[in-house]
Structure 1
Amino acid sequence: MTGIDAAGLRAGLAGRYAAVDVVASTGSTNADLREAATSGAADRTVLIAEEQTAGVGRRARSWSSPKGAGLYLSVLLRPREVAFSALGSLSVVAGLAVRDVAARVGVDAVLKWPNDVLAGPARAKCAGILAEAIAAGDVSVVVGIGLNVLPLGQDVPAGPGGLPATSLAEQGATVTDRTEVAALLLAAFDDRERRWRLAGGDLTAAGLLDEYRRHCATLGQDVRVELPDGKSLVGRAADVDAAGQLTVDVAGGGRQTVFAGDVVHVRPA
């Protein structure tokens, strides 16, 4: 198994990020960068782990992070040009960047609101995103991306709604070297995040919203949305707005906007 080449990444991404570090193992790269943020770590600091022992997804679910099989990385951002309330749309930015990489390596991938990337004809989950705002001092947020690159080599629990897991390699990727994939991902994220930041976090002004809509498999689907308060919402996913929020045509009439929740695709539209 070849490890991720930190020096090669730093050279290839020079000028894009303040720091790019790779560690053999950690509990969670998001947790590490949240702590680093409070200690003054710079805007655009990147941490990648070969393995996470306590990887976390949405709603504190565990994220399987087997050693050497994927990319487990987090980026600390301090976008002073963006209001705290607009930070949630970074999941859209990160999702588009992951899809960019999938397309570059020949994998058919789509986006599932709010934070999943699905690949292959069976639309299995190959990546998850977790953006965590830090409400202390200046505006800062940690964006975590878990991307399955090589065959997982173990039974990975299905996600909400029974969503199975897959990897780029299992979907026929032309590139599976994790250093190369990391370089592609961080370059794509850098390009998209800069556009987002210059637009003050507005996805429409950044030219990202229409693109997200085109690639979002959730839109037009009958869905069940599990809300943070334990309630659920059933209807048809209608749109995503400039803040990255999902609008749902609710069963029985009316439309509701959802900022956070787990979406289950009930059946294809």
Structure 2
Amino acid sequence: MSGMDAARLRDGLAARYTRVDVVDTTGSTNADLREAVENGGADRTVLLAEQQTAGVGRRARSWSSPKGAGLYLSVALRPAGVSFAALGSLSVVAGLAVRGVAAELGVDAVLKWPNDVLAGPDRAKCAGILAEAVTGPEPAVVLGIGLNVLPLGEDVPAGPGGLPATSLAEQGGADLDRTHVALTLLTRLDDLERRWRAAAGDLTAAGLLDDYRAHCATLGQDVRVELPGDATLTGRAADIDSSGRLLVDAADGRRVTVSAGDVVHVRPA
């Protein structure tokens, strides 16, 4: 299993990103870039790892990162002109980038709000996204993406709601050289992030909201939303707003706006 070609990545992304580094192993690319941003790291800095020993997802869950099997990357962004409150919608931008790459590689994939990409007829999880705001004098965020590319080769625990794990290879993806996949993903992400940034983080103004709605499998589903603080909301996922928040028509008739939480698609018995 060959490693990623760092020189090819730097050459291919030089016009888009300030710095691109590839390391053999680290605890978490997000943690590394968070520290870099706190110490003045530049906008559009990218870190990829062949393996993470302490990869994390949302709510501090672990993210399995088998060596050489996937893309484990983070991007540090300093989007001047985007308010702190709008930074959360970067997860939508990243989700669209990942789903678009999966489709380009021949994999049927959909989005699950707020941060998962599901693939194949069984809608198993092939990617997760973690956007972490970094405190400081100007808006900054570290955007982490874990994408399973090659066969996982080990037992990967199911996600919230029992979502099994899968990979692009296991869903019939073609041309899965990981350097090529990384180039394709980071190029697409850069295109979408620049549109998002130019629109000050407004998904509607960026022309991204309708695309997300079209590919979001959560919309129209009966859902159970596990909210911060151990609260739970049940209802029908009705829409996504221009800030990337989920609108849920609750069982008691209220329409509730959800900015953070784990969503389980409730399937009929």
- Taking structure 1 as the reference length, what is the TM-score of the superposition? 0.99
How do 1:236-255 and structure 2 match up within 5 A? 236-255=236-255
Q: Deviations over 1:43-63 (max 9, x none)?
A: 000000000000000000000
The answer to whether the aligner puts 1:104 opposite 2:108 as a matched pair is no
How do 1:49-68 and structure 2 match up within 5 A? 49-68=49-68
What root-mean-square deviation, in Å, do the aligned CA atoms of Structure 1 and Structure 2 show?
0.6
The answer to whether the aligner puts 1:126 opposite 2:134 as a matched pair is no
Q: CA deviation at 1:252?
A: 2.3
Q: Which ranges in structure 1 are unaligned for 5 or more consecutive residues? A: none
Amino acid at match of 2:71: L
Q: CA deviation at 1:147?
A: 0.1
Aligned to 1:41: 41
Amino acid at match of 2:31: A
* 3-state secondary structure, aligned to 1:51: strand
| Distance in 1 of aligned mates of 2:248 and 2:267 | 15
Q: Which ranges in structure 2 are unaligned for 5 or more consecutive residues? A: none
| Distance in 2 of aligned mates of 1:9 and 1:134 | 26
| Distance in 2 of aligned mates of 1:62 and 1:175 | 28
* 3-state secondary structure, aligned to 1:23: strand
| Distance in 2 of aligned mates of 1:252 and 1:43 | 45
How do 1:226-241 and structure 2 match up within 5 A? 226-241=226-241
Amino acid at match of 1:109: A
How do 1:1-269 and structure 2 match up within 5 A? 1-267=1-267
Q: Deviations over 1:152-179 (max 9, x none)?
A: 0000000010000000000000121100
Amino acid at match of 2:40: G
| Distance in 2 of aligned mates of 1:254 and 1:192 | 33
Q: CA deviation at 1:137?
A: 2.2
Amino acid at match of 1:44: R
Amino acid at match of 1:195: R
| Distance in 2 of aligned mates of 1:31 and 1:137 | 19
Q: CA deviation at 1:242?
A: 0.2
- Taking structure 2 as the reference length, what is the TM-score of the superposition? 0.99
Q: Deviations over 1:185-238 (max 9, x none)?
A: 000000000000000000000000000000000000000000011100000000
* 3-state secondary structure, aligned to 1:210: helix
| Distance in 2 of aligned mates of 1:230 and 1:256 | 17
| Distance in 1 of aligned mates of 2:138 and 2:208 | 25
Q: Percent identity?
A: 76
Q: CA deviation at 1:16?
A: 0.1
Q: CA deviation at 1:81?
A: 1.3
Amino acid at match of 1:133: A
* 3-state secondary structure, aligned to 2:79: coil
Q: CA deviation at 1:250?
A: 0.2
Q: CA deviation at 1:101?
A: 0.4
